Amino acid sequence: MKYWYQKPNQLLSGYIRTVLILEGFSQPDAEQLPLVTNGMPALLCRSEKDQRGNEDILQLTLFGRSSTADSWTINDNTTIIAYFFKPFALSTVFNVPAKKLIGDPVDLSIWNPHKTNALRTQLVYALTTQQKIEVLDNLLILQLQQNNKECEIIKYATDEIMNNPGTEVLSAVLKKLDLNERTFQRTFKKYVGITPNQYRRICQFQVSFEQLRGKGFNKLTDIAYDNGFSDQSHFIRAFKEFTKTTPNNYLQSGLTGENE
C-alpha cells in the first residue's frame, strides 16, 4: 500500500486543503494508514478492481465532519481519493445545507443522481489514479462555477470575521458584499449552520482565549479592548458563557467544566 498527499488544482486551492491518495496495488512505502484528522469535511472516492480488472466505484460520499473508519478499508485492488475541504467550503461547493452535512454522510447519488451516474462512468474509464483525480477536479470546478456567488460570499465573510471579530465587522462585510442583511443572514446560516453574529462571537472568544492563554496582556481590560468587547465585564461574561468559568479562575485552575 502506498499513500501520498498532493496540492489541489489551482482553481480549487481556495476551498480545498489537500488531496490524499491511497493505492492498495502500489509498492508499499508506508507501514500503516495515514492519520486522518477528525472534523475535516471531505469528499471521498473509493474504487476497487475485481479479478478480471473491472473497476467498481464503491463509494462517492460527502463527510461534513469525520469520515467513517470503514471508508478507509483497503486491499490490494483498492484506490481511495479524498479531498479535504477548508471550513464551510464543502457545503457551498455542493450547495448542501450545513445542517444536513453535520448529520449523516451524504452519498453523491442522493445529492444528484444524474451528475453522479456521469461521474461514475468517467471514473470507471479513467485508467490511472491521476486521471481519476482529473475527473473529480472537473466536477468540483464545475460546482464551484455554478455556485460561485455563494462560495465567494461565505469564503469572504468567514475569513473577514475570523480575522477581525469585533462588533463592527458584520456591517463592513455587508457593505463590501453589497448585500441586504436578510439575504446575508439566510445564506450564511444555510452554509455555515449558525448566524453571522454567532460565528463572530465564537471567533471573538477564540482570539481572546488564545491571548489569555498566552498571557499576552497586562490586565484583563487589555484583552477586552484588543478583541472588540465593550468592557472587561462583557469579556468576562462571554468567557464564562463559553467555558463555564471566569478568566481569573481559568488562569488559576484551568478549565474545570463546572459552573461557579
Q: Do 187 and 207 fall within a single domain?
A: yes
What counts of helices (H) and strands (E) characterise the chain?
Answer: 12, 6
Q: Do 181 and 219 fall within a single domain?
A: yes
Q: Do 136 and 9 fall within a single domain?
A: yes
Range of the domain at 188: 150-253
How far does CA 156 lie from the centroid of its chain?
Answer: 15
Tens digit of each residue's pLDDT (9 = 90 or more) over 183-231:
999 999 999 999 999 999 999 999 999 999 888 888 889 999 999 898 9
Tell me the pLDDT of the chain averaged across its residues. Answer: 90
Give the count of domains, the chain. 2
Q: Do 92 and 69 fall within a single domain?
A: yes
Q: Do 104 and 44 fall within a single domain?
A: yes
Q: Do 142 and 42 fall within a single domain?
A: yes
Confidence of residue 252 (pLDDT cuts 50, 70, 90): confident
Tens digit of each residue's pLDDT (9 = 90 or more) over 29-48:
666 666 665 678 999 999 99
Q: Which of 102, 119, 146 is the last residue of a domain?
A: 146
Q: Which of 97, 119, 146 is the last residue of a domain?
A: 146
Q: Do 178 and 244 fall within a single domain?
A: yes
Q: Do 104 and 173 fall within a single domain?
A: no
Alpha carbons 98 and 194: distance in angstroms, whole number? 9
Alpha carbons 107 and 116: distance in angstroms, whole number? 9
Q: Do 91 and 161 fall within a single domain?
A: no
Q: Which of 94, 113, 146 is the last residue of a domain?
A: 146
Any idea what the CATH number is for the domain that residue 244 is in? 1.10.10.60
Determine, yes or no, domain membership for 113. Answer: yes
Query: Measuring CA to CA, which residue among 119, 114, 116, 111 is closest to residue 90?
Result: 111
Q: Do 113 and 178 fall within a single domain?
A: no
Q: What would the grid cell of residue 57 be?
A: 466505484
Residue 94 has pLDDT above 90, yes or no: yes
Q: Do 99 and 227 fall within a single domain?
A: no
Determine, yes or no, domain membership for 258. Answer: no
Q: Do 140 and 197 fall within a single domain?
A: no
Determine, yes or no, domain membership for 126. Answer: yes
Give the three-class secondary structure for 57: strand
Determine, yes or no, domain membership for 94. Answer: yes
